[in-house]
Structures are given as structure tokens and as C-alpha cells.
Amino acid sequence: MQKIFILAFWFCSVSCFLYSDETLLKREMMESETVKKPEYLYKVLSYRHWQATEHRKTVTLSAEDDAFIHLSTEEQLDRIISKYWSTVLQFVVLKLATDKLEGELKYEANLGGSTKYYHLYQGFIPFRSIVEAKIMFGSPSAVCQEVLEVVQLGDPVLREPARELSKEEILSPEIQRLIEEMKGTMRAAPGVGLAAPQIGRALQLIVIEDMDHTHLTTEQISEREREKVPFHVVINPRMEIEEQEKVAFFEGCLSVPELIGIVPRAKSVKVQCLNERAEPVFIEAKGWYARILQHEIDHLNATLYIDRVILPTLMTEGNYMKQWKKKTIKEILKH
């Protein structure tokens, strides 16, 4: 009799546990289904990524949004800013129209957490979804600098071979000022390189800097052989292809906005040039740095990346984000 009672008690306990667990699961599913999507959601991003967004049709995001895009409600916004952005000098808060977002929106907790947020899967944030962009300043003077206009595809200067600069010209106040203006323009875009023809001057002058990789995952950085490259100036370059083997990756250009495509480039190069002090410099570059040099030196020779692109891979940035971002280069080239 005692065994029967214990068995009955055990069965009742397990049944209650299973019922309780099933009820909880159903309740969570019902909550997920009945949660009314807010009219507006919010996204916080760096000022640098906002500057990039202003030149495109979609919001430029960091690598942390690679699996899905983190969004928050108005009620959650203060907590997000306090936790992740309180020590950042400049950042931007975007107010987004929820019905204009592209992708699958889910209301769920982060891995290992209990607080629920909105996550946007397999999609992107179109520029048209931005209702308001509020720039938060820690140091306003750091962002209030004038930049030069980047000329666009179709401007004759992009198809004009650039001329060499003499030592006297390099050291002149005019060219020294131009170098500083090109530096500011490249950083504001943002870009990793800028050639003088892109700001309307057919001169053999390039500025390069590749220090911010926050928009890339660790795997992407490794795949591209991308290392930090401090700011430097390249004048009157002469380039030698060190390895004939080529590697194909997506490229874009500040002078060809809203388009990207796969371009084969040499894996490594050697460049002889002058710096901003008119001193001779010898550069040995590989990986992404070699790609940057080839791209910018092409500009001096009236060549654009679209002249070298694998034409079927040329696409809008929006379609890349929506359809191709998760695919490898090999998979894309098979299509």
C-alpha cells in the first residue's frame, strides 16, 4: 500500500511538473504572439557608423549586429545607453519606424539573459526607416570639421590620369593643407583610402588609414588578412605586383556610392613613393593593405574598381545585406 502511495505521489508530482512546464511554454508562446510591436524602435550606433550611413541607403552597423540587429524600445533606451555608451564621446540614437524595417523581427531574450529585446534577423535598417537621428556629443568640436566633396562616377576628373608632384609642390602650404583636408574627408566618409582625383584634383596623392575594424567579425578580419594600418601619405607611387596569385573580395568606392562588387586583386605588392615630407618610402604590403593600395593607385591611373569587377557580382549594398551577406565568395561566384 505504501509503495502504491509513493508511486502515485511520484506520478502526480511528475505530471504536475510536466503540466507546469507545458503551461509555462504555452504562456510564453502566447505572450510572444500577442505582444504588440511598438510603432518605433531604437538603435544606438557610433558616430563613425552614422557618418557612413549618411552616404548610403542602409544603416552601417558594427560586427556585433552580424547574427542579428539589436534594437530596443523607448523604455529600454536609457539602460542601453548607460550600460554600453556612457563612456563614448559621440554616438547616435536612431528612432526607427518599425513597419519600415527589412527582415524578421523577433521579441526575445539575449543568450543567457532574461530581459527581452527586439532582434532583426536576415535584414537591414533602410535609411527611409529613420524618423529621427539624435547625435549625442561628448566633445562637439571633435565632429564639427569641414570636409571636401567627394566627386562621383561620371565626373571627368576620375578618368583623367593624375600628374606627379614635385618636391617643392609637396612641401608647399597648399599641398600640406590638402593632405590634412583629405585626411578629414577620408575619416568622415568613413573610408580606408582616398585619392586626390576623388576630391577633384588630378594629382598623384593618396591618404590611407585602416584602424577601425569594429564592423567586422574575427573570422572576416582573418579571411581578409586585415591588419591595422596607421595614417600615412603616398605620393607619386610606383607599384610592383609581388605575387601573381589573386584573391577576390567585395569592394566599394566613395566615388561609386551604393554599389559593391567582387574584385580580384594581387595578394601582395611593393610600392616606391614619397611621403608628405617628400622623402622616399618603400612599402611592402599584403592582404587587405595591398588591396587598398591597388584600389587607390588605380584612381591615379584613371581606373575605377568597376573596371575590374566581376560584372555579375556588381550589386546594390541593400541587396548584398538582404541576400548575399551570409554567403562565401565561392558561393556567390557559383551563381
Query: DSSP E strands: which ranges in 3-129?
Result: 40-46, 69-71, 90-97, 102-109, 116-124
Catalytic residues: 296
The order of strands in the sheet holding 280-286 is 193-195, 205-210, 229-241, 268-274, 280-286
At residue 325's C-alpha, the angle toward residues 327 and 310, to 5°, is 75
Does residue 121 sit in helix, strand or coil?
strand
Q: Rounded distance, CA 231 to CA 233, Å?
A: 7
Cα 263 to chain centroid, rounded: 18
Contacts of 78 (CB under 8 A, 6+ apart): none
Q: Rounded distance, CA 272 to CA 22, Å?
A: 70
